Amino acid sequence: MPADDIKQFIREIPKAELHMHLDSVPPELLLRSARRNNVELPFSDVEGAIEWYRFNDLEEFLQKWMVTTSVLVTETDYYEVALELGRDMQQQNIIRREVMFTYAAAHEGRVELDTMMKGLARGRRQVKEEFGLDLYFIADIDRTISPERSLKYVDEIAAYKDEVGILGIGLDCQEIGYPAGVHRDAFARARELGFYLSAHCGEEYAAGPEGVWDAVNDLNVDRIDHGNQAIRDNELINHIVENDIPMTLCPISNVSINVYESIADHPVIELRNRGATVTVNSDDPPFFQADLNDNYMQLVETFNLGVDDITQLVRNSFTCSYATDEEKTAYLAALDDWCRVVNPG
């Protein structure tokens, strides 16, 4: 298929995204909130933002990530962030999105949890009404907080579970020096409360396959966020395959924060070929100037993927989601219908 046709195929195929961060707000929206709230950003226009978004590693990325959210203060700010996620879903044909937010890292101290939750709940309802799309959330725990704090946070967030559509508890931020097992009580409590569980792990080289083992063994996660370093451990790959633990991989993100030199070095396709259930995701699109469709397109160009490969990856995005069985059946039927129209016979 010619490159333009593949591009169109990727853009139009109905898909889900399971790993992106709400706290990665598009610069246009940040600038608007900054003006409204009289707060300064380290850039004054979109070009300045793009210039500022350069990272040597995860640590530098996380520092800048937290600076940008400093302009979000009111319920309206969060409403607009959620609504923008919906607009972007419509543009990329993402019919379901499970979006992470990290209250302790990026918002606490500036905004009451209740203010943020009310804004997100309103935005999410509007996304359904205006675009007919399914927006859900995952409440990530910043790894660097204390286990007492993370346990308390799980109970606090549970109060908003249904109203805000929070399906899971996750773990993110700096991994090196902050082992996942510290938060085992928070994750056990989250399980009791009916949340699904995931964790960012095995992202940077220094985190290694051990970071993934920790998340799998100590937190009993349902999904692995990143986990790309698993490629260095055959026993771990076998464990992931045998236990069918889905991986939410983010190829362009990993290249942007210098985990890999190029997409060609990324293990997403090798992990797939070894039997892991992998999904493709964007992580922090405004920071990398690359959305979900760009991630698919770069995989196509680098690994010479065809429409069957893309369709299988998209299928995984639905089957690995936290949707109910009935919802998954409906999403897959929509996908199959679309494929039949595009490729009759």
Residues marked active site are found at: 203
What would the 3-class secondary structure string for 62-100 be? HHHHHHHHHHCCCHHHHHHHHHHHHHHHHHHCEEEEEEE
Q: C-beta of 110: minimal distance to ligand ADE in Å?
A: 17
CB 81 within 8 A of CB 29: yes
Q: C-beta of 199: minimal distance to Zn ion in Å?
A: 10
CB 279 within 8 A of CB 248: yes
Q: C-beta of 149: minimal distance to ligand ADE in Å?
A: 17
Which residue has its beta carbon closest to Zn ion? 283
Q: Restricting to residues 277-316, which ones interact with Zn ion according to CB under 5 A?
A: 283
Round to whole Å and give the CA distance between 273 and 205. 21
Is 139 a binding residue for ligand ADE by CB under 6 A? The answer is no
Is 284 a binding residue for ligand ADE by CB under 6 A? The answer is yes
CB 287 within 8 A of CB 65: yes
The encoded tokens of residue 103 equal: 């209250």
Q: Which is nearer to Zn ion, 98 or 283 (CB)?
A: 283
Is 99 a binding residue for ligand ADE by CB under 6 A? The answer is no
Round to whole Å and give the CA distance between 298 and 315. 18
Round to whole Å and give the CA distance between 18 and 79. 20
Q: Which is nearer to Zn ion, 175 or 283 (CB)?
A: 283
Q: Which does 143 bind (CB under 5 to 8 A by kind): ligand ADE, Zn ion, none?
A: none
CB 197 within 8 A of CB 187: yes
Q: Restricting to residues 31-90, which ones interact with ligand ADE according to CB under 6 A?
A: 58, 65
Q: Restricting to residues 167-206, which ones interact with ligand ADE according to CB under 6 A?
A: 172-173, 200, 203
Q: C-beta of 38: minimal distance to ligand ADE in Å?
A: 27
Residues that bind Zn ion (CB under 5 A): 283
Residues that bind ligand ADE (CB under 6 A): 21, 58, 65, 172-173, 200, 203, 253, 283-284
